Structure 1
Amino acid sequence: MNSRKAYHLFIILCGLLVISCRSTSKQTDSAPVQEIDAHLKPAWITSQDSLPKENAWLIFRKKVNIERQDDVSIKIAVDSKYWLYINGEMVVFEGGLKRGPSPDAYYYDEIDISNYLKRGENTLGILMWYFGKDGMSHQSSGYPALMSEVSNQSKKLVVSDASWKVMQHPAYLSKSEPPYPNWRLPESNVVFDARRDIKDWYTPDYSTSQWLNANILPDVNADWSNMRSRPIPQWKDFGLKAYQDSVMFPFESDGDTLIVDLPYNAQITPYLKVQANEGQKISILTDHYKGGSAYNVRAEYITKQGVQEYESMGWMNGEKVFYVIPKGITVLDLKYRETGYDTEFSGSFSCDDAFYNKLWKKARRTLYVTMRDTYMDCPDRERAQWWGDVVLESGEAFYALDRKADALMKKGMYELMNWQRKDSTIFSPIPAGNWDKELPGQMLASIGYYGFWNYYWQTGDLQPLKELYQPVKEYLSVYTLNASGTLDIRQGGWFWGDWGEHKEMELLQNTQYYLALKGLLLLAEELGYKKDADQLSANMSSFKKAFNKHYWKTDHYRSGDYTGKIDDRSQGLAVVSGLAAEDKYDAISKVLQVEKHASPYMEKYILEALFQMGEPELALQRMKERFGVMVNHPTITTLWEGWGIGAEGYGGGTTNHAWSGGGLTLLSQYVAGIAPTSPGYQTFDVKPQPGFLKYIKAVVPSIKGNIHFELSKGEDYKLIIEVPKDSEASIYIPKQFTSISINNGKVDYSTTDTHNIVIVKSGKYIIEGKGN
C-alpha cells in the first residue's frame, strides 16, 4: 500500500438517480418452455421499460429444456457488451465486440456451452451494457437490444423472442456526475447503487414473475448471415487477484484515498468487499483516469446496509488503482481482475546489455495493454484503431506473442477495407461513429509493405489478401503523379505525418506511397496477377528514378519548398522503402547520426534503416539514446506516446502507446537476425547484427513453431539454433570466423563477400567458427 493519505481527486460525487425496484422473491419461473420451430428466426429483443439513451444496463432471462448436453452452442449479438450466466455460473465475462465489421453491421459470438448445461431445465441469464453513444472505436446502432439462439447441431432449442423476460437493471445508474469520459470513448462511467440491486437474478431459483416480456424490434435486420462471427477469442480471464501491496484486512477507512499497486499496466475490473451503512459512495479510478490529458473512465459504488461485495464490469487500465472510501466504512477486501486478449507471451529476447532487455519487455507489455476489441493507440484516452499504430503493433506481435494474436490483425484488415467509402478512400480509426478523417500517410502504411503484406509474409495466410486486393488497388488509384513523375500530395482529412518538428510532408508521403506500391506489387505477384504486376513494376521503376532525380540533394533528400532541418524520418523511409540506393547509404547514415526529430512512431523506420545499411552499432546507440528516459523510468511499465510525459510529449502524452515498441521488432529481426524469406516461415534467415553485443538469446514464435536462438560472439563464434518442423533456415556466419562446424562435424556452406552461409532443415544445431 502506498498510503491512505488524502488525495485531492478531480471528480464530483454523483447524486442518486431514483429507479424503482422490482420484486426479488425467490420462486420458480412460471414461463413455460416452448418447442422451437426449426425455421423460426430469432428477433432483436429489448426491454419494455423506458430506457436511457446512453449507458443502459439490461438483464435477460430464459428457461430452456435440454435433452442432450453435447454439441450445444449459443449465438449472441448485442450492442454493446454482455455477461452470460448459465444456471447461475458465469460463462462469458464481457462478451461482444464494438461495432462494427462494416458500417451498421454487428459481430456475434458463438460459444460452446455444453459443459455448463444439465439434462432438463436450464436457466440463461444475460447482463447487457448498451453504450448508446458513438466513439472513435464504436458506432452505436441506436438499439439497446440483444439477439440470441441456442442450438444443438442443426436443431434450434431457443431463439430470442417475446417469451424472454427482460428489464432494465435498476442498480446501474445511467448518469454519473461530471466529469464524463472524453468524446473519443463510447463507454460511460459505471455507477452502481447497491440499494437497488437484484440479488441472484441470474440463478435458477429466482422468479421473474414481475418482469415484463421482451419487446421485439420489428424493423431491425435479424439475420445471422448479415452479421460477422467473432473472429478473435473471448478474453483471457486471469481471475480475481490481490493487489501487490500488503494490505491488512479488515481495516476502517479514515476517509483518505487508498492507493494500491498493480504489478504492471493492465486492463482490469476492480473489486471490493466492505461493511457499510447505506448510501455511502465509493469512487474507483486509476492513475490513468486523465491519461492523455483527457478524462477517461471511472466507477462509483453506492453502498447498501451491511456486508457487501462488488466488481465493476467496465474495464479500466493503469499502474495504480485509487479507492476513495468514505470514513467509517470497514474494508474487508480489495482485489482486481485482469482480462485481455487471449494470447501467450511466447517470444523473448535477452542480451548482455540490460537496457535492450528492458526495452523489449516494456514494449511487449505496452503491446499487450493496447490489444482488446482491436489494436489500440492507447487503452485510456481513445481505445481507437489508428492504423499507423496497428502496423507497428502487428509487427511486434509476430515476435512477441503466440499466433492467436494474428486474428486481431486479420480482423482489422477486413474492417479497414469494409469501411471503404464510395470514392475509394479509406480512413481510421475504425470502427468509429464520430470520426471520418483520412490520414493519407497512415492509410498508405496500412495497406503497404509493413501492413497487409507483412501479415501474409509472416503467416502465409493468403485468403484475406485475395479478398482485399481489389479494394486496396482501388484506394491506391486515388493517388496521382505530377509532371515530375512524383506524387501529387493528398491532404486527406488530416494532413498528419508524425508528431514533432521538421516534418517534410512531401517526402513522407512519397516514400509511404512507394512502400504501398511495393506491397501491392508483391501481392499481385503472389496472386498471379501478371498484368497488374508488370504495370506496378514499371510504375515503381519510373517513380524511383523521378524521386531520386527530383529530391536527392548531394547528401540528403529534400523537397523544393522545404526549408527546415533535414527530416530524419524521410531519410529513413527512403532507405527501408528501397528508394535510396546503396551509393547513398554513407551520406544518409551521417545525417541520421545528427538529425533526431521523429517521434517514437517514426523512429522505428529510422533505426531499421541503420540496420539495413549495415550500421548495427549506430542503430543500437541511437535506440538507447532516444528511448533511454522511458525505458529507464523506474515505475512506469509501458512506453510513451512521445519522448516525454503529458505536456512534454505529443498528442496528449499518454504513457502507453505501443507505436513506441518498434525496437522490439528490430531487436528480434535484426539484432538476433531472424526473419522469414518466404511466406509463413517456410524458409527464414538467421543473420544476426549484434553490433557491440557479445551475447544474444531469443525465441521467435513463428507460424511454424518456436525458433530458439542463442549467440555467443568473442574471439570465437557460437550459434545455437532450433529450427521448427517443415521449415528451413539459412544461417549467416561472419566471414572472419573460419573452420565452421555444425554439431562438431564438418559442414558444407556457401560464401558471400561478408558471410559464410549454412542451410539447415528442422532440428537443433550448434554452429561454431574460429576467429582469425
Structure 2
Amino acid sequence: MTGRNWNASWIWGGEEESPRNEWRCFRGSFDAPESVEGPVTLHITADSRYVLFVNGEQVGRGPVRSWPKEQFFDSYDIGGKLRPGVNNTIAVLVLHFGVSNFYYLRGRGGLIAEIEADGRTLAATDAGWRTERLGGQRSNSPRMACQQAFGEVIDARELAEDWHTPAFDDGSWAQAQSIGSAGMAPWTSLVPRDIPFLTEEKLYPVSIQSLSRVKAPKYAAALDLRNQMVPESVNHANPISYCGFVATVLTLETSGVVTLGFPVGVRGKGVWVDGVLQAEWTGVQPERYYQLNLAAGEHLVVFDVTGSDHGGSYHFAIDSESAFTLRSPSGDNGVPLATIGTFDQSEYIDHRPGRRMQADHPDYNALPEAAPSAVALEAFASWIKPFEPSLYTEEDVFGSNVWRTLAERRAVPRPVLNAILPVPEPGILPVFENGDCELVIDLGVERSGFIGFEIEAPAGTIIDAYGVEYMREGYVQHTYGLDNTFRYVCREGRQSYVSPVRRGFRYLFFTVRGNRAPVKLHEIYIRQSTYPVADQGRFRSSDSLLNEAWEISRHTTRLCMEDTFVDCPAYEQVFWVGDSRNEALVNYYVFGATEIVERCLNLVPGSADETPLYLDQVPSAWSSVIPNWTFFWILACQEYAAHTGKDDFAARIWPAVKLTLTNYLEHIDDSGLLNMAGWNLLDWAPIDQPNEGIVTHQNLFLVKALRDSRALAAAAGAAEEADAFAERADRLAEAINAALWDEEKRAYIDCIHADGRRSDIYSMQTQVVAYLCGVAQDDRLAVIEGYLVSPPPAFVQIGSPFMSFFYYEALEKAGRQKLLLDDIRHNYGQMLRYDATTCWEMYPNFAENRSNPDMLTRSHCHAWSAAPGYFLGSSILGVKRGAKGWQSVEIAPQPCDLTWAEGVVPLPQGGHIAVSWEVVSAGKLKLRIEAPEDVEVNVTLPEGMEGDVTQVSYLS
C-alpha cells in the first residue's frame, strides 16, 4: 500500500547509504504551465527529516514520525508559490540522522517528491535532480541526547545562503542517485499524513536577563562514547554497558596549574594522572573539576568510562594558564584522545536482568596504575583504539557553558535591548578584550520550536546558543543529559539563520565569541511550532491559584503536542504511550483535538514486530516495555472511541487490543497473577516496583484494562470476544485480593519479588490504584477510602503529578473534590511559587533531586503533569460526557469552597458546553448552561443545594 501511485523515485547522494548526521541539499526544476484548473500538489517525504522550499520560500517541514514500514508523506498545495509559464525550483534540505533513537529507527538516506496537477506529473525526483552536502555543516556535531538526534555546528563561511533559490547555479553539484521506486525497503508502504501541519509562530523574547563577560576552558570536547566503544550500537537505542578508559597525553610547555573538567560527571573508578588516582575534586554534582599542579613535560591522563550508556554526549575539558597540547597515545588521526577497551560489554533490553557487565578483566584492573606514562601504556597496545573523528568534536558549546572559567556580570546597556524589540535599530553587543559576550535571553514562558536570528558580524565570529528551562537567583539548571545547543560561525556582514532542529527552553544563553568588532544583533526569536489548536476550552474561578494552575496546564499540553503527544519539548520530545493517555484527556477539555489522539493510538501496534506486548515509546529503536503503558493505551483507545463515538475506530483498533491482552495473559503464573520481567514503572517515587516479579499496581491496571476492553469490543461489534477477558479480569482480581492484601497492615503490598519475598513496602500508589480499578471491595474499600483522605505517613507518598492524575480520579470517584482542590493548591502552588509557566515532571526534592536542593525537578515542562486542565473542568466545573460521542452531557458542579466558576468544554463533533455557576447564598446555586440543541443535558446539583438553572441551546 502506498496511498497513491508514485512516478517519482527515491533519491540520495554521497558515498554512504546511512551517513552519520548528514545534511544534504537537493534541487530540481520544472516548467510550470501557464494555467492550471485544479490544485498543484507536491507530495514529499524523506529519511530522516526535511525542510521544503519552493522558489526560495519555505513551504513546510516534515515528515511526521513514522515506522519505516509505514512511512508518512506530506502533501502541499503549492499553486500559489509557482511562477506560471517559466522555470520553477524545488529545493529540499534533508537531515539524515544515521543513528537510531527514541523516535526514529535507522534506515537509510532518501528523498522522494512529486508534483501533480490536472491529473499529470509536473516534476518528480529522479537522477536528474542535483545534490550536495550543506556547506559548513559539521557531521561530528554533538549528539543531543539518547532520545534525540543531533544539534548543529554550522560554518556560514562555507554555506551558500541562497542555495535554495531559483537564481542559484547548481551546475557544480553532483547528480542525485536513483535508489529505488516507491515501495522499496525500508519504506515499504507510503501513507498520507494523518494530521494537520504544525504551526510556526514567530515569537520574540520578553527581556534580556543579563550580560556577562565570560570565558570558556581552553579545551573542551564532546564525545560519543557509546558508538565509539560499541560501534554497532548505532543501529538500536537500547542501553548498553561497556568497560574501558579514555586516554590522552597532555604536554605542558611550563609547569603550572591544570584543571581537568568533567561537566557531566565521572564514571567508573575515576581519573588518573601519571598513574595516580585523583581523589580531590570540586564542583556541584554531577560536575567534577580536578585542579592539579603539574611540571613541564608529558603527563598521561586516563579516565574510566565504564558503565551503562544509553547515548548522548560525554564532555571533557581542560583549562590552564600554561600553554599545553594534547595528543593521542594511539597515533595521529586528528583526534587527541584514544579509548582503551572494551574489556567486556553486555546489552540490556526491556530492562530484563541479563548478563551483568564483568569489570574483572586483569588488564582493566591493572590499568592505569600499571601505566604511569605513555611509554608504559604501550604494554596495553592491543586494547588501545583510535577515537573515530566522526564521534569527536571540540565544538563543545554545552561544556563551555556549564564550565565557564570566568563569568563577570555587567549591566545591560539600553541599546542592547533593541535586539529583542520591534525597532529598526539593532542591538549593539560589546566587545571584550579578554573574554566573550554572553546574553541570557528570557522568552517569558517555556517555548518549543526553531531558534532564529539576524546578525551583522565579522567573519569568523562564533555564535553559541544554549537553551535551559529554569534559572533562579543565580542558579542555572543545566540540561545534563541533553546537549541543547548549537554553534554558528559567521561569514562577513549581515546574515540570518534559522535552526532546523527543534528545541524546548525558556532561557537562551546567546554567546558571541572571537569578534574583533561590535556585533549588531538585529533580531532573535523562536518559531514556536506545535499542533494547530485553538484555545477553545476555558476555566476561571474565584481562586486565582487554581486559574493559574489551569493556564500552565493548558500551555504545557500545547507545547507537548507536536506530530504526536510528547513527554516534554526539551529533554526527550518522545511519544511515551502511557503519558499520552492522560495528555489526551487534558487535551479534550482544553483544545478538543481528536486527530492527534487517533494518530497516537494507531502508532502503538506498529511495535508488534518487536513485541506483542507493545513498546512503551513509539516509533522507537529502544526495545523497552512498560506493561502499565500498554494498559493505559487500552484505556485510551476505549476513552477515545467513547469520546468521539467513532465505532469505526474501535473496529480497526480492536484486533490490536485483543492481540496484546492475549499475550499479556500468557504471563499469568500458577498463582493467578501477572508475573513478568519488564520496566514495571508507575511513579518516580521509592515504591517497590522491581523489574521482575509480581507488581501489584501492574496487576491492578491489567484488571481494569481487561474490564474496560468490553466497551471497546462492543463498539467494534465484537462484544463476545471480550467476554473471556472480563472473566479473566474477575479471576485476576480474586488472586490479587488473596495474595497481595496484608490483613495486619490493612493494605495491599507493593509486590512479590522474583525470589518469592513479599514486599515490606506499602505505598499510596498501590492503594490508589486498587481503589480506582475496582479491586478493593467491602471493608477493604472503606479502609482505602480512608487512606485517600488521610494517607498514612509510613506509606510511600505520591512523587509525581502523573501519579496525582490517578489519585484525582480516585478522589473524584469517592466524591472528595475538596481534597482534589487542596492537593492542586499545594502541589501546583509550589510550581507557581517558583515562577513556573509549565507543569513540572516531578514534585520537588525527591531522591532524584536531593544532591542539589536548587533542582526542583528534572523537566520543567511535562504534559503528563497537566491534570488541572482536565479535572477543573470535569470535576469542579462539573462537565462530563454522558452517552458516547457526547450525545448527552452530565453537569454536576462541585463548588467545594469556591464562590463561582465558569468555563467551556469543546465537543468532538464541534461546538461546546459552556457552564457558569455561582453560589449566591447558603444552599443556593445559580447555574447557566449553554449547549447544542441536539445534546441532551442532565443536571445534578450538589448535595444539599437548590439551583436556579438556566439552559441556553444553539444550533449544532
Match of 1:7 in 2: none
Match of 1:466 in 2: 651
Distance in 1 of aligned mates of 2:652 and 2:773 = 25
Matching of residue 343 in structure 1 with residue 533 in structure 2: yes
Match of 2:837 in 1: 637
Change (3 A) 1:50 1:474: closer
For residues 624-672 of structure 1, what are the alpha-carbon distances to aligned partners after superposition, in whole Å with 9 as ceiling and x for unaligned?
A: 23333123322x3112121127724999822121111123211111111
- Secondary structure of 2:80's counterpart equals helix
Match of 2:463 in 1: 282
Matching of residue 310 in structure 1 with residue 497 in structure 2: yes
- Do 2:703 and 2:773's aligned partners in 1 also have CA atoms closer than 8 Å? yes
Q: Alignment partner for residue 81 of structure 1, among 24, 27, 49?
A: 49
- Larger strand fraction of residues: 2
For residues 580-591 of structure 1, what are the structure 2 equivalents within 5 Å?
Answer: 580-581=776-777, 584-591=780-787
- Do 2:576 and 2:616's aligned partners in 1 also have CA atoms closer than 8 Å? yes
Match of 1:490 in 2: 676
- Do 1:253 and 1:331's aligned partners in 2 also have CA atoms closer than 8 Å? no
- Secondary structure of 2:19's counterpart equals coil
- Do 1:486 and 1:510's aligned partners in 2 also have CA atoms closer than 8 Å? no
For residues 638-657 of structure 1, what are the structure 2 equivalents within 5 Å?
Answer: 638-644=838-844, 647-648=849-850, 653-657=858-862
Matching of residue 96 in structure 1 with residue 63 in structure 2: yes
Unaligned runs of 5+ in 2: 209-413, 419-425, 471-476
- Do 2:699 and 2:732's aligned partners in 1 also have CA atoms closer than 8 Å? no
Match of 1:299 in 2: 486
Distance in 2 of aligned mates of 1:375 and 1:549 = 38
Change (3 A) 1:400 1:471: same
Q: Alignment partner for residue 521 of structure 2, among 329, 332, 336?
A: 332
Matching of residue 571 in structure 1 with residue 536 in structure 2: no
Change (3 A) 1:443 1:213: same
The residue type paired with residue 574 of structure 2 is A
For residues 60-75 of structure 1, what are the structure 2 equivalents within 5 Å?
Answer: 60-67=26-33, 68-69=35-36, 70-75=38-43
- Do 1:459 and 1:679's aligned partners in 2 also have CA atoms closer than 8 Å? yes
Q: How many residues matched?
A: 696
Match of 2:587 in 1: 397
Q: Alignment partner for residue 237 of structure 1, among 200, 204, 229?
A: 200
Change (3 A) 1:167 1:420: same
Matching of residue 319 in structure 1 with residue 502 in structure 2: no
For residues 434-445 of structure 1, what are the structure 2 equivalents within 5 Å?
Answer: 435-445=622-632
Shift of 1:110: 1.0
Change (3 A) 1:626 1:587: farther
Distance in 1 of aligned mates of 2:491 and 2:126 = 35
Shift of 1:260: 0.9
Identity of aligned residues (%): 24
The residue type paired with residue 641 of structure 1 is E
For residues 480-629 of structure 1, what are the structure 2 equivalents within 5 Å?
Answer: 480=665, 486-492=672-678, 494-503=679-688, 506-553=695-742, 555-558=746-749, 562-581=758-777, 584-592=780-788, 593-595=790-792, 596-629=797-830
Matching of residue 723 in structure 1 with residue 931 in structure 2: yes
Shift of 1:418: 1.6
Matching of residue 737 in structure 1 with residue 945 in structure 2: yes
Match of 1:15 in 2: none
Matching of residue 253 in structure 1 with residue 430 in structure 2: yes
- Secondary structure of 1:675's counterpart equals strand
What's the TM-score, normalizing by structure 2?
A: 0.69
What's the TM-score, normalizing by structure 1?
A: 0.84
Distance in 2 of aligned mates of 1:642 and 1:366 = 14
For residues 219-246 of structure 1, what are the alpha-carbon distances to aligned partners after superposition, in whole Å with 9 as ceiling and x for unaligned?
A: 8835998112111221101125354448
Match of 1:418 in 2: 606
For residues 670-681 of structure 1, what are the structure 2 equivalents within 5 Å?
Answer: 670-681=875-886
Shift of 1:202: 2.1
- Do 1:42 and 1:222's aligned partners in 2 also have CA atoms closer than 8 Å? no
Shift of 1:484: 8.0
- Do 1:66 and 1:118's aligned partners in 2 also have CA atoms closer than 8 Å? yes
- Secondary structure of 2:697's counterpart equals helix
Change (3 A) 1:40 1:295: closer
Shift of 1:156: 1.5
For residues 251-307 of structure 1, what are the alpha-carbon distances to aligned partners after superposition, in whole Å with 9 as ceiling and x for unaligned?
A: 133332101110311113222222222112110111149766313331111111122
Match of 1:138 in 2: 104
- Secondary structure of 1:262's counterpart equals strand
Shift of 1:49: 6.3
- Do 2:650 and 2:715's aligned partners in 1 also have CA atoms closer than 8 Å? no
The residue type paired with residue 95 of structure 1 is G
Matching of residue 208 in structure 1 with residue 170 in structure 2: yes
Distance in 2 of aligned mates of 1:134 and 1:604 = 32
Q: Alignment partner for residue 708 of structure 1, among 914, 923, 939?
A: 914
- Secondary structure of 1:443's counterpart equals helix
- Secondary structure of 1:314's counterpart equals coil
Change (3 A) 1:271 1:527: closer
Unaligned runs of 5+ in 1: 1-37, 744-759, 765-772
Distance in 2 of aligned mates of 1:588 and 1:675 = 25
Match of 1:272 in 2: 453
Distance in 1 of aligned mates of 2:952 and 2:137 = 60
The residue type paired with residue 452 of structure 2 is Y
- Secondary structure of 1:478's counterpart equals helix
Distance in 1 of aligned mates of 2:857 and 2:898 = 36
For residues 370-413 of structure 1, what are the alpha-carbon distances to aligned partners after superposition, in whole Å with 9 as ceiling and x for unaligned?
A: 2213222222222211122111111111111132xx22221221
- Secondary structure of 2:929's counterpart equals strand
- Do 1:104 and 1:141's aligned partners in 2 also have CA atoms closer than 8 Å? no
The residue type paired with residue 278 of structure 1 is A
For residues 104-115 of structure 1, what are the structure 2 equivalents within 5 Å?
Answer: 104-115=69-80
The residue type paired with residue 692 of structure 1 is D
Distance in 1 of aligned mates of 2:30 and 2:122 = 7
Distance in 2 of aligned mates of 1:500 and 1:626 = 15
For residues 36-55 of structure 1, what are the structure 2 equivalents within 5 Å?
Answer: 41-48=7-14, 53-55=19-21
The residue type paired with residue 475 of structure 1 is T
- Secondary structure of 1:644's counterpart equals coil
Change (3 A) 1:214 1:655: same
Change (3 A) 1:355 1:465: same
- Secondary structure of 1:703's counterpart equals coil
For residues 171-186 of structure 1, what are the structure 2 equivalents within 5 Å?
Answer: 171-176=136-141, 180-186=143-149
Distance in 1 of aligned mates of 2:890 and 2:196 = 31
Matching of residue 386 in structure 1 with residue 576 in structure 2: yes
For residues 330-378 of structure 1, what are the alpha-carbon distances to aligned partners after superposition, in whole Å with 9 as ceiling and x for unaligned?
A: 2232321222221122212121112211111111222122221322222
Matching of residue 116 in structure 1 with residue 86 in structure 2: no
Shift of 1:423: 5.4
- Do 1:165 and 1:211's aligned partners in 2 also have CA atoms closer than 8 Å? yes
Shift of 1:717: 0.6
Distance in 1 of aligned mates of 2:731 and 2:56 = 67
Shift of 1:74: 0.8
